[in-house]
Amino acid sequence: MAWTRRLVLASASPRRYELLTALGATFTVIATDVEAELRAAPPELMAQLPPVTLPPLEHPTLLAWRKAQAASLQAPGAIILGADTVVVLDGMLLNKPGDGATAQAMLRQLSGRSHTVYTGVCVLEPEHPQQPATRSRLALVASEVEFAPVSAQAIAAYVATGEPLDKAGAYGVQGMGGKLVHSVRGSYTAVVGLPLVTTYELLSQAGVQGLTDPSVTYQRWLQSQGKDPLPCPPTLP
């Protein structure tokens, strides 16, 4: 017998909340504290992870699955959406900085250079209304971000705002940190934290209905943020 499967966002990120809301989804939030866990996942899940040259236990799609799996235990019968974003420069992960000095050091490394932002997405689909979701739909989105050259004074001023301290790579492209970014090749919303096209596709495959076209959503979201699309190369949703 069919049952109404609610949607849960396994993230406390206000940016992911905004983007999923803009996509037209009706959902609740269950945030879990599993980001620091580096335990192995089931071998069959590890085999499904999209290929990427990062340590296996720090794969962003695995991190997204961990969040979704932890939330699923609190919401039997629900569809769970998890996401995780990492910043990679010269093969090195730039995680959330622990303090202002670390944030400044990261931004100095990024200044005038390109780096890759990976966002892993996981949708868990339930097979029974009384059991946690187990069927995994996994994806990984990579975007190339080019920083403009940034002076030491500008870096110090940005870090003083406090914005970089809870952001991977020590910047938020949708906030004041966007002024440091020259261009984004690929998905802009993946850099923000939730790639709209991929999220739309995975949720639609899981049976979530009533979602807005991701390209339309992207333009409306940019307008709500008071932003214009980044210049050439064209930035995608």
107-131 pLDDT per residue, tens: 999 999 999 999 999 999 998 888 8
Higher-confidence residue: 204 or 132?
Answer: 204
Q: Does residue 228 register a pLDDT over 80?
A: no
Q: Is the confidence at residue 33, as pLDDT, over 90?
A: no
Question: What pLDDT is attached to residue 226?
Answer: 81
Predicted TM-score (pTM) of the model is: 0.93
pLDDT at 14: 93
Tokens read off for 209 = 């209905």
Q: Which two tokens stand for residue 29?
A: 């939030």
pLDDT-above-70 percentage for the chain = 93
Catalytic residues: 84
* Average pLDDT of the residues of the chain: 91
Asked if the model's pLDDT at residue 9 lies above 60, the reply is: yes
CA distance 84 to 95: 11
Cα–Cα dist 134/228, whole Å = 39
With beta carbons less than 8 A apart as the criterion, state whether 194 and 16 touch: yes
Cβ-contact 142, 118 below 8 angstroms: yes
pLDDT tens digits, 37-63? 667 788 999 999 999 999 988 999 999
- Mean pLDDT across 6-17: 95
Tell me the DSSP string of 14-81: HHHHHHHHHTT--EEE-----TT--PPPPHHHHHHSPP-SS-GGG-HHHHHHHHHHHHHTTSTT-EEE
Confidence grade of residue 1 (pLDDT, cut at 50, 70, 90): very low
| Res 109: pLDDT | 97
Q: Quick one: what percent of the chain has pLDDT higher than 90?
A: 78
All domains in the chain, ordered by first residue? 7-224 (3.90.950.10)
Q: What is the pLDDT of residues 59-88, one digit of tens each?
A: 999 999 999 999 999 999 999 999 999 999
> Which is more confident, 28 or 227?
28
What's the pLDDT score for residue 229? Answer: 67
Q: Residues 155-179: pLDDT tens digits?
A: 999 999 999 998 999 999 999 999 9
